[in-house]
Amino acid sequence: MNAPLSNYISGRLISSGTSDLIPVLNPSTGAVISEMPVSSAAAVDEAVAAAKKAQVSWGRLPAIQRAHALRAISAKIRERVEPIARTISEEQGKLLGLAKVEVAFAADYLDYMAEWARRIEGEIIESDRPNENIFLFRKPVGVVGAILPWNFPFFLIARKLGPALVTGNAIVIKPSEETPLNAAAFIALLDGLDIPEGVINFVYGTGAGVGEAICAHPDVGLISFTGSAATGSRIMATAARNITKVNLELGGKAPAIVLKDADLDKAAKAVAASRTLNSGQVCNAAERVYVERPIAEAFVAKVSEEMKRLRVGDPLGGSEVDMGPMINRAGVCKVEELVRSALDSGATVVTGGRGTAEAGQGTYYEPTVLTGCRQDMDVMRKEIFGPVLPVMTVDSLDEAISLANDTEYGLTSSIYTENLSHALKASRELNFGETYINRENFEAMQGFHAGNRKSGIGGADGKHGLYEYTSTHVVYIQS
């Protein structure tokens, strides 16, 4: 078993100062592989103080010098892709191949954000007065508090750290209790790099402890959180005490619309891939399908075949395994309850529908397709976050769009059609932050990953995601 972890504050590994430890489990076996410290609010105070002190000189550096630090980190990541990916697989259950993609993408993301060093722009605004100039400058918010999820834990470090640092902020990061070991691997990469002490800090602990302390801290200028809508709501309430800016990527209930003119092979492959990527534990994955009646039977047959052929097992099993375990037993129980409720209300299992333990005590659930679903069922309204695909039949695109928009979430959506007019209509009328046409649900780093309604506030990626980590300063100069 790995040794207990230490916080990283002011460039040093520091004891959490508490004897409380949380076991870290391997979801494919149920074995304890490490222990995570439960840090106190005092540790958060220390980390924020270090970040606040370091940010002053860090923010004064030319952005290109800050970009050099990001590139140095990405270079170290590329030297350690395999061991970091194995750490992710062991603590999160992600397929090793997908974990390697995550690690490599994190390095690419840091390089991408470094490229913005020479592209951060202000504005010159026309004045109403003679002999006056108005300038808008973009400045750091100060200290960023980053609270991470467990589903793409290593990439989310890069997604929050990259834009925060290049725009001149310092950062305090709280890893998920489920996946702290990849954060320790990231910390190890920082050794020997020329990054001022205090610019990057990690504090381990619970959401109720460390997370709450970060959100309530008066010296935190921005809270960036990825996770559930319920937790996001609590973060907003806590941040409101200090009127702290929040950036929240929350849950999703992404609809996939399959029209009668769609390429059914393409649709079935893309929807199944979206639903089962990372065992269905992806906020922007297809969570429900609306298929036009004339091709419903054919589509269900094809997507069920795609789901049925997936081999479930040890994520380190290489090419012999297509899907690993879910993160924990609570996740499996939630999926089981949603499926049970749907069946009690008249839905039918076409394939799957059972938890499985092919790796002993692992937390697995079969890729599952449900038909006969209705809009009022929990499986069509609540986020599943597991490899279950509920399917509902519709009679028109208008009906599909209306049902798709009938949700408290608004992160991603998709449509499969060979008709350009139908695709454009869906693009206009679907009320979601993203719409994917004839492809799986997965965003690009140069886009803007943002949602509506309970799917969040603000967004990530691209120019617009970068500017989330800045404040504006307007200067009036009278000559």
CA distance 414 to 432: 10
The one catalytic residue in 178, 283, 292, 366 is 283
Strands (DSSP E) contained in 284-387 are 286-292, 348-351, 355-356, 364-365, 368-371
Say how many C-beta atoms besides its own lie within 10 A of residue 472's C-beta: 11
C-alpha of 381 from chain center = 20
SS3 of the chain: helix, strand, coil, percent, to 5: 40, 25, 35
249 is catalytic: yes
Q: Within 13 A of 6's CA, how many CA atoms are on the CB side?
A: 11
Query: Could you please report the per-residue DSSP string of 327-382?
Result: S-HHHHHHHHHHHHHHHHTT-EEEE--SEE-TTSS--EE--EEEES--TTSHHHHS
Kindly state the helix (H) or strand (E) to which residue 246 belongs, with its residue range: strand 245-249
Contact by Cβ (8 Å): 405, 430: yes
Q: Within 13 A of 373's CA, how many CA atoms are on the CB side?
A: 29
Token pair, residue 364, equals 């697995």
CA distance 243 to 238: 9
**Position of tokens 């935190």?**
220
CA distance 451 to 433: 4
Residues 21-36 as b or e (16 or more Cβ within 10 Å = b) = ebebbbbbbbeeebbb
The one catalytic residue in 46, 249, 306, 434 is 249
The residues carrying an active-site annotation are: 249, 283
